[in-house]
Amino acid sequence: MTTIQPSPTDSTTPVATEARHDGRQELLRVAIIGNPNTGKTTLFNALTGLRQRVGNFAGVTVERVEGGFKGPDGRRITVLDLPGSYSLSAGSPDEQVALEVLLHRDADRWTPDVVLVVIDAVHLERNLFLASQVLELGIPVVIALNQFDVAQDEGIAIDVPELIHELGVPIVPTVAKRGEGLDPLKRALITAASLPAPARKFVLPADVEDALAPLKSCLVEAGLTPTAAGMEALRLLSVSKSEPHLVTVPQLQVQIQDAMATLKNRGFTPNRLESEVRYAWIAGVIERTVSRPRTIKQNLSDQIDRIALHRVLGPVIFLVLMAVVFQAVFSWATPLMDGIEVLIGALGGAVGDRMADGDLKSLVVDGVFGGVGSVLVFLPQIAILFAFITLLEHSGYMARAAFLMDRIMRTVGLHGKSFIPMLSGYACAVPGVMATRTIEDPKDRLATIMVVPLMSCSARLPVYTLLIGAFVPATSLIPGLTLQGATMLGMYLLGTVAALAVAAIFKRTLLKGPVRPMILELPPYRLPSAWSLLVSVAQRCQLFLRRAGTVILALSIVLWAMATYPKSAVDASLPAEAQQEQQLEHSVLGQIGHAIEPVVRPLGYDWKIGVSIAASFAAREVFVSTMGTIYGVGSENEAALTEKLVAETNPVTGQRVYTPLVAIGLMVFYVFALMCISTVAVTVREAGGGALGWKWATIQFGYMLVLAYVAAWIVYAGGTALGWGG
C-alpha cells in the first residue's frame, strides 16, 4: 500500500512563468479550466460579459473563446476559456488542447500568468483530481469554489480556511449564475499573480521518485519547469497512446518505458499509480475540510430523473420538448419577424425613393435589401432555436437526452456520448463537428463527424420557414401544435433518423469497431442564469449577422449582377414583370439556370430553383436570398417572396411551379444535402487534415448529395404517381 505524506514547505518553488517577466505589467492573462458541469462557462460569462471573441486554437478546431475585463487595480485582464476537462490525461483532443496551453506548448504562445480552476463545491473530491494536477504546473493558481449555495442547501459544510491551508492557493466561494463572489475572485487573480507558484502537496514514495528521476530530467531538458516535469512524468505513466510531443522529444518514449519497467519491478502498477496517489491525498483533504449530513436525502434532480429517464416516459418527454421548440420557432417568432420585415421594408423604401431609376438603385434595392433582407428576417427564429438549445444544455437536460439515446445509439454502433455533438448540430454543424473532440475512440469520433451535418441546423431554418409558411396551412392538430410546427418537427426527425441509419452503415463498413460503454456524468438540474443565456444566444446571433453582412451580402451582389447582365432587348409592350422575366431569361444567371435545369427537372424543379440550390453550396440560407434576388422582391422581403412563389406559373404549360409536393421535396433535399463550405472545411481538419481529411470530407459531401437527390426524387415521383402533384 502506497503511503502519501504532506510535503514540506518549499520556499524555492519556481515563481510564475516567463510571460510574467516580459514587461507587460498592464495585461494579466488568466486561463480558466474545470470539469464539465462545474459552471465554468457561466463563471467565464459572468466575468467577461459580452466582451468576448470566438476563434480557434492554431492548428486545431476546438472553439477558442477569449474575453476580458478591467481588474480592481485598473489592469486589463484577459481570460481564455479552456475546454472542460476531467483531468490533464489528454484522453480526448479537448483535454490535449488544455494540456498544451498549460505546459506552454500552445502554437499561439498563449501563456497564462494565472490559472483559475473552477471546482464544483458539491463534488469536491472528484474535482480535486484536476486541481491537484494544475497545482504542479509551476503557475500561480486561484480556485473558484463554485455552486457554493447548492452545497450549503445539501448540508455540506466546507471549511474554506482549512482548504486554503491544505492547497496553498487562494480559494473563493462563488455562485456564478447569480454573480456572487466575482469581486473577491477578481482581487484574488491579481494577488495570485505576485505569489509563488504552488507545488505538489504530497510526497511520492522514494522508490517512485527514483524511478521517475530520469524521465523528469528528460522533460526538463525539453523545456518544462521542474515542477511541471514532475506532474508530466507521473501523468505519462498512464498514457495509452502517443501524443505529438512524445515524438518530437528525443529519448522521451524510451525513458517512459524504462520508468514503467522499473516501477513494475518494484511492485507498483504504473498506469494506476497517478490515480492512486492523488486520490489518497484527496481523501485526506476531504476528511479534514468537509463534513456531510449523516442521512442523505434524495435531491430534486433524482426525483425528476425518475420520470425524465423512464424507459417509456423519458423518450416521450424528449419528443414533446422538441415539438414545443419547433412550434415556438413558428409562433413566438412571428411578431418579431413581422417587425424586422417592416423595418427592412421601410429602410429599403426610403433608400430607393432617394435614388434615380437605374442599375444602381436595382443593386441596392433588389441586390442588397432583397438578398440580405430576405435572410435577416429569420433572425428571431434562429435566436429562439439557440435559446432553447442553450437552455436545455445549461439546465442539465442535454446530458439526459444523451443517456436516453444511448440504447438507440448502441444499436447503430455508437454510444450516447455521440448524440451530444449531434444535438449541437441542431444549432450549427460546425460546433457540432468540433464537439466530437470529447469522444475518445477515433473511429467513433469519425463516424459521428460524418453524420453530424444530417442534423437540421439553424441555416436550414430560413428554407424550411419560407416553404412551410407558403405551402403548409396553419391547421391545428392538437392544442399548441399546428401542421406547420409538425412539418418542421418532421424535417428534424427525418435528419436525425437518417443520421442514425448512416452511422450504422459506417460502423459496419469503413469504420467497423466494437461498441464501447458510455460513462457520462448527469449534472444536477439547474435554473440557468439569464445573463449566461443572453450571452450565448447573442454570440450565435452575432455569427449569423456577420455571415449575413459578409458571405450573403457578397453573394447577393454577385447574383444580382449575374441576373442583370448582359442587358438584352425586351418587348416594351409587355407588363413590367414580364419584361423582368424576359431579361432574366437572357442574363448570365438565366443561362446557367437553363444549363442546370435538366439535372433538377426530375425533382420537379425549374431553372430558378436549380440556380438557387447551386448558389446555396456556399451557405444553405443563401437559397432564400437568391430567390429574393431572382424574383426582385426588393425590400418587401418574405411576404412578397411568398406571394411570388405561390403565384409562379410555367409560361409554357400554365401550371404552378411551386406546389406543396415540390415544397416538401425541396425541404427533404435540404435535410440531406451538405450545402455549407464551413462544414466541409471543419470536417477536413477534424478528420485528420491533409489528404486524409479531404478524403473523408469528399465521402461526406458525396454521399449526402446523392442521398438528397434520391430522396427528393422519391418524394416527387411517388407523390406524382399518387396524384398529389397538383
Percent of the chain at pLDDT exceeding 70:
86
DSSP three-state, residue 516: coil
Instruction: State the alpha helices, DSSP H only, in 17-147.
Output: 40-48, 93-102, 124-134
Statement: residue 430 has pLDDT above 70: yes
Residue count of the chain: 726
For residue 567, the tally of other CB atoms under 10 A from its CB is: 10
Reported confidence tier of residue 370, pLDDT bands at 50, 70, 90: low
Three-state SS letters, 571-628: CCCCCHHHHHHHHHHHCHHHHHHHHHHHHHHHHCCCHHHHHHHHHCCCECCHHHHHHH
Tens digits of residue pLDDT in 275-295: 999 999 999 999 999 998 876
Statement: residue 556 has pLDDT above 90: no
User: Using CA atoms, how far apart are residues 471 and 665, in angstroms rounded to an integer?
Assistant: 12
**Which of the residue ranges 167-171, 537-541, 621-625, 644-648 has the most confident prediction, judged by mean pLDDT?**
167-171
114-120 and 27-34 as β-strands: parallel, antiparallel, unpaired? parallel
Tens digits of residue pLDDT in 48-104: 875 555 443 333 434 567 888 888 888 899 999 888 888 887 666 677 778 888 887
User: Using CA atoms, how far apart are residues 88 and 141, in angstroms rounded to an integer?
Assistant: 15
Q: What is 5-202's CATH number, 3.40.50.300, 3.40.50.720, 3.40.50.2300, 1.10.1740.10?
A: 3.40.50.300
Give the pLDDT of residue 59. 37
Statement: residue 117 has pLDDT above 90: yes
Statement: residue 633 has pLDDT above 70: no
User: Using CA atoms, how far apart are residues 556 and 572, in angstroms rounded to an integer?
Assistant: 27
Give the pLDDT of residue 2. 35
- Closest among 315, 510, 506, 520 to 413, alpha carbons compared: 506
DSSP three-state, residue 22: coil
Domain boundaries, the chain: 5-202, 204-272
Higher pLDDT, 352 or 28: 28
Of 435-444, 503-512, 667-676, which range is least confident?
A: 435-444
User: Using CA atoms, how far apart are residues 419 and 452, in angstroms rounded to an integer?
Assistant: 9
Give the pLDDT of residue 297. 55
Cβ atoms of residues 462 and 310 within 8 Å? no
Averaged pLDDT score across all residues of the chain: 81
Statement: residue 635 has pLDDT above 50: no
Q: Distance from CA of residue 284 to its chain's centroid?
A: 38
User: Computed from CA positions of residues 86, 90, 91, 92, in that sequence, does the dihedral angle turn out positive or negative?
Assistant: positive
Beta-ladder partners of 55: 64
- What percent helix, strand, coil does the chain show, rounded to 5? 60, 10, 30
Give the pLDDT of residue 63. 56
Give the pLDDT of residue 298. 57
Cβ atoms of residues 508 and 473 within 8 Å? no
Reported confidence tier of residue 18, pLDDT bands at 50, 70, 90: very low
Question: What distances in angstroms separate CA 523 from CA 120, 398, 434, one per listed residue?
Answer: 11, 10, 22
User: Using CA atoms, how far apart are residues 604 and 330, in angstroms rounded to an integer?
Assistant: 27
